[in-house]
Amino acid sequence: MDNENEFNYSVDQKFKQTKPPKKSGFGRTVFVPFLAGIVGASLTVGVCFKVPEVRKFLIGEESKTSYSAPKIENSKKPSDTGSTISADFMSFSQSSTQVAKTVLPSIVGIEIKYNVSSFFGNSEAKATGSGVIISEDGYIITNNHVVSTETSSSSFYTITEAKGLTVKLYGDDKEYEAEIIGTDAYTDLAVIKIDATGLTPAVLGDSDHLEVGEFVLAMGNPLDMDFTVTSGIVSAVNREVSASDGTSYSAIQTDAAINSGNSGGALVNLKGEVIGINNLKLSGEGIEGIGFAIPINSTTDVVNQLIEFKSVKRPYIGVTGQGIDESITEIYGLPAGVSIREVEKDSPADKAGLQKGDIITKIEGKEVSTVTELNKVKYTYKIGDTVTLTILRNGQEQEIKLTLGEEPVQEGEDKTEEEISTEKEEAKKDNSNSGSRGSTDFPSSIWDLFR
User: How many whole angstroms separate alpha carbon 333 and alpha carbon 341?
Assistant: 19
Biggest CA pair distance of the chain: 143
d(CA 399, CA 337): 14
Rounded-to-integer distance, Cα 55 and Cα 408, Å? 95
248, 252, 257, 261 alpha-carbon torsion, rounded to 10°: -50
Backbone angles phi, psi at 196, to 5 degrees: -155, 155
- To the nearest 10°, report the CA torsion of 320, 340, 381, 141: 30
d(C-alpha 282, C-alpha 291), whole Å: 6
Q: What are phi and psi of 97, to 5 degrees?
A: -65, -45
Closest CA to 233 of 244, 220, 217: 217
354 contacts: CB under 8 Å, gap ≥ 6: 317, 319, 340, 343, 389, 391, 400, 402
Q: List the catalytic residues.
A: 145, 188, 263
Which DSSP symbol is given to 18?
P
